[in-house]
Amino acid sequence: MRRRIDPLLLAAIIERGMVRAGRLARIRVGARDHPGVLARITAVVAEAGANIDEVHHQRAFSALSAQNVDIELVIQTRGRDHLARSAGSPGGRRIPM
């Protein structure tokens, strides 16, 4: 009897491994809700050479004031050092709002 590897299980294992290695990360940015702000945020991530996997733009379910928005990005990086440069961590670049 041959056993087959469940592709969904394999994908979940790989994804969790990427998170642990700093190659997949979730970052949250609080920003003013004005035209062009999301474009500036994504430009900073692109300039750092990271890839955006997901974007969640949250207005209604945020604790921020009415003119602000929570933006959550899931990004792919080359590792923890690259993540620090991409996400504006200490020693990395800050995202101007």
pLDDT tens track for 51-89: 999 999 888 777 778 888 889 999 998 888 887 776 654
| DSSP category for residue 95 | -
* E strands in 17-90: 24-32, 51-58, 68-76
How many whole angstroms separate alpha carbon 63 and alpha carbon 51?
Answer: 28
pTM: 0.74
- DSSP 3-state assignment of 73? strand
User: 23-87: what fold?
Assistant: Alpha-Beta Plaits (3.30.70)
pLDDT tens track for 9-55: 999 999 999 999 989 999 888 888 899 999 999 998 888 889 999 99
How many whole angstroms separate alpha carbon 38 and alpha carbon 3?
Answer: 46
Task: Judge whether 67 and 32 are in contact, CB under 8 Å.
Answer: yes
